[in-house]
Amino acid sequence: MRSLISTPQIFRKFSLLLFVGFSFLFNQHAAFGQNFLLVGDAFGVNAIPSCTSDIDTCFTLTPDLNSQAGAVWDLTPIDLSKSFDAIFCLTLGSNDAGGADGFAFVMRGLNSDSLGLVGGGLGYEGITPSIAIEFDTWNNGAVKDDLADDHTGMYVNSNWVTPIASSVPLDPGGANIEDGNYHTTRIVWNVNTDSLTMYFDGNLRISAQIDLVNNVFNGANLVYWGFTASTGGATNLQQICFPQTEIEINDITFCDKDTGYVSYYTDNITSYTWYNLSEDTIKDWNTIDYPTPFNLNDTIFAVTESDTLILNIDFNNNTFSDTMFVTVVDLPVLPFDPDSLEYCPENESITLDALNPGMSYNWNPSFPNSQTITDNGYTGYYHVEITEPILGCQSEDSILVTLYCDPIVDVPNVFTPNGDNQNDFFELILGTDIRWVKILDFTIFNRWGNTIYTNENEVKWDGTRNGTKIPGGTYYYILHYSDTKDINTFEKKGFVLILND
């Protein structure tokens, strides 16, 4: 399992590079003789650096000696009712004019011989039933459908008289292949078209349509495959190497509300399936239902929730699996519900709590990195960004803070406007600041119901009428006021005693 850290941006995508080999290579790293059969003069060698850096397992099919024959066979049968796409790396040696004989990719019946004749038989002559694709470096003439150039052809049961695909040069221009270099070869079996195709150094060289199961293997769909080679009077060091088989699936981690994009891609695959632990299929692709070559867009799908995803891939008739963990990091909890708050600063204080302990906070108005802030007299919007520490996933929230107090009003029942600067005015007794009280009207009446004094927006009477002190005695008042929101209106009325002495 390898991890891929996915940043909080919304788009996530990765491609997996798969080097396709044969079934016995998946858990085998140059531990020769465990999962496959070596026959005759073949033997294992360490990875050959001059091939590619991606080589895993290599074999010498023939040393540079006379009359050698060797073969290597995958011990796990392949199923010809399924497609395969195989790539390998080979050298035909460095002896040109005196070099021979070459080798072959061979599929054979389960009960057939595992090694054929030396010399021009390329190590597979006499193996029945079989089909072979040759990599031939010696001209044995028309009897074996040979050419002067290093060449290739396709044959059933060593029948060179009636080839499935007649000989053509391995190199399109006829260049020498016994050059001591390593060359790549790709062999594709497409069950949809019954076609067997060989590419050499990226060039299509031979292809044929043939019902392998019925016309070659007598109805059997399980066969062995491998490689044979031989020398005769002329010789060459002939080796083959298999690329690594690697499935590199990366875990994904991203923020909630973002989207992760999963992509699996390789050119050399016949099917893949993504599913979850509940065995629900998420994405499925195969060469039967979809055209080739593989389309990258077919591989991409979106994930939005934490999950465990399993990838099954099928290549070379073998299925391999790996697991991906999708982790969605929760966003910080939004702290403010509801989105506004009012309080009476004369009776209470407030604390704004951004919740989400252990995270970082950025407040506006600016405050130090703190989970909580207390009222500093600011009214308006408080905005906070909350950042979690794993991926930096963020949530932000705002709250409108306003001030409001219910008006608390009482009215005195006596005052003494006698000029001694004590209780000279008739004023309200307030339980809250006057800013929370909206005076609508205030009226003083005498005992006969005549208006003595009236005012709006203020209650402060000095006991006079038109500048003249009124006689002491009992008077009647009516007060109407409301809160500052004009939601509730209040009325107070009663008697006040005026003492002038």
Query: Tens place of pLDDT for every residue, the chain, 501 residues?
Result: 222 222 222 222 222 322 222 222 222 222 233 477 999 999 988 666 666 656 667 899 999 999 999 999 988 898 999 888 788 889 999 999 889 999 999 999 999 999 999 999 999 999 999 999 999 999 999 999 999 999 999 999 999 999 999 999 999 999 999 999 989 898 989 898 999 999 999 899 999 999 999 999 999 999 999 999 999 999 999 999 876 656 778 899 999 999 999 887 665 566 788 999 998 998 887 765 665 555 667 778 899 999 999 998 876 556 678 899 999 999 999 999 989 999 998 888 889 999 999 999 999 988 889 999 887 667 899 999 999 999 999 999 999 999 999 999 999 999 999 989 999 999 999 999 999 999 999 999 999 999 999 998 889 999 999 889 999 999 999 999 999 999 999 999 999 999 987
Does one domain contain both 73 and 206?
yes
Buried b (16+ CB within 10 A) or exposed e, 132-143: bbbbbbbbbeee
Does one domain contain both 154 and 260?
no
Neighbours of 92 (CB within 10 A): 30
CA distances to 314, 319, 342 from 78, in Å: 12, 11, 76
334, part of any domain: no
472, part of any domain: yes
φ and ψ at residue 33, rounded to 5 degrees: 90, 5
Grouping H, G, I as helix, E, B as strand and the rest as coil, residue 83 is coil
365, part of any domain: yes
Does one domain contain both 390 and 491?
no
Distance CA 253, CA 221 (A): 43
Does one domain contain both 352 and 419?
no
The CATH number for 486's domain is 2.60.40.1220
pLDDT digits (tens, 9 = 90+) for 330-347: 999 999 998 999 999 888
Does one domain contain both 211 and 85?
yes
Q: Which of 387, 403, 419 is the last residue of a domain?
A: 403
Does one domain contain both 162 and 207?
yes
Tokens of 307: 């999950």
299, part of any domain: yes
335, part of any domain: no
Residue 428 domain boundaries: 409-498
**Nearest CA among 26, 87, 85 for reference residue 247:** 26
Grouping H, G, I as helix, E, B as strand and the rest as coil, residue 214 is helix
Distance CA 322, CA 312 (A): 7
The one-letter amino acid code at 273 reads T
Q: Which of 329, 363, 381 is the last residue of a domain?
A: 329
The one-letter amino acid code at 162 reads T
The CATH number for 268's domain is 2.60.40.10
Cis omega before residue 338 (within 30°)?
yes
Buried b (16+ CB within 10 A) or exposed e, 15-46: ebebbbbbbbbbebeeebeebbbbbbbbeeee
270, part of any domain: yes
Cis omega before residue 471 (within 30°)?
no
Does one domain contain both 281 and 180?
no
Burial class of residue 93, CB neighbours in 10 A (0-12, 13-18, 19+): buried
* Size of the chain, expressed as the number of residues it contains: 501
Total domains, the chain: 4
18, part of any domain: no
Contact 385, 411 (CB under 8 A): no
DSSP-derived letter for residue 470 is P
Does one domain contain both 219 and 352?
no
Diameter over CA atoms, the chain: 149
Q: How close are the terminal C-alpha atoms of the chain, in Å?
A: 99
Does one domain contain both 170 and 82?
yes
227, part of any domain: yes
Does one domain contain both 218 and 278?
no
Does one domain contain both 181 and 313?
no
Does one domain contain both 322 and 416?
no
The CATH number for 93's domain is 2.60.120.200
Q: Which of 228, 243, 258 is the last residue of a domain?
A: 243
Distance CA 317, CA 182 (A): 26
